Structure 1
């Protein structure tokens, strides 16, 4: 059994126990900081952020393309330059889709 599988078992037992994290860790002689680390590492949200996928797009005009990154960054460039930008962002691990 891998370490991830062992910790997933601990997390499943904790969920079923109804105990607080601290109480569960005390009962099972587990360091709370280790428990919290593995809880975060194995959480579904963390797993989603690790899954990267490109979103297919189709450009239908030569109008400027706008790419919004969060609430602070807006990139405007020619539609012809967009594929190169997207590939560069993807190559650097900066481009991903989330569900």
Structure 2
């Protein structure tokens, strides 16, 4: 049974080779005897990993808005209440 590390390395190499090949996912998989759904899964995983690496949290200052000046408020409803 292969380890998760070996599986990840295997698919990472294929994802990069597919990107470099210029082929469609299906054509690449046919040439390399891979399941296209498996390649698509690892492409998504790779993309999500890259997006997670590029996220940055920024500090945020929240200010309370000044209170509204007192005034009259009139609510009307078509039914008359």
Q: Bin the TM-score by the shorter chain.
A: 0.5 to 0.7
Pair 1:55-2:81 in alignment = no
Specify the alignment match of 2:27 in structure 1: 23
TM-score, scaled relative to structure 2: 0.58
Structure 1 residue aligned with 2:38, among 21, 26, 34?
34
Runs of 4+ in 1 over 3 A off after TM superposition: 49-54
Q: Which deviations, in whole Å up to 9, do the C-alpha atoms of 1:32-80 show, x marking residues without a partner?
A: 110101111111xx12247765431224x4317xxxxxxxxxxxxxxxx
Q: Unaligned stretches of 5+ in structure 2?
A: 67-81
Q: Kindly report the root-mean-square deviation, in angstroms, between the aligned alpha carbons of the 2 structures.
A: 2.5
Q: Unaligned stretches of 5+ in structure 1?
A: 65-99
TM-score, scaled relative to structure 1: 0.49
Count matched residues: 61
Q: How does 1:77-96 map to 2 (within 5 A)?
A: none
Specify the alignment match of 1:97 in structure 2: none
Supply the distance in 1 between the matched residues of 2:53 and 2:7 (Cα, whole angstroms).
19
Supply the distance in 1 between the matched residues of 2:18 and 2:28 (Cα, whole angstroms).
6
Of the two, which has the highest radius of gyration? 2
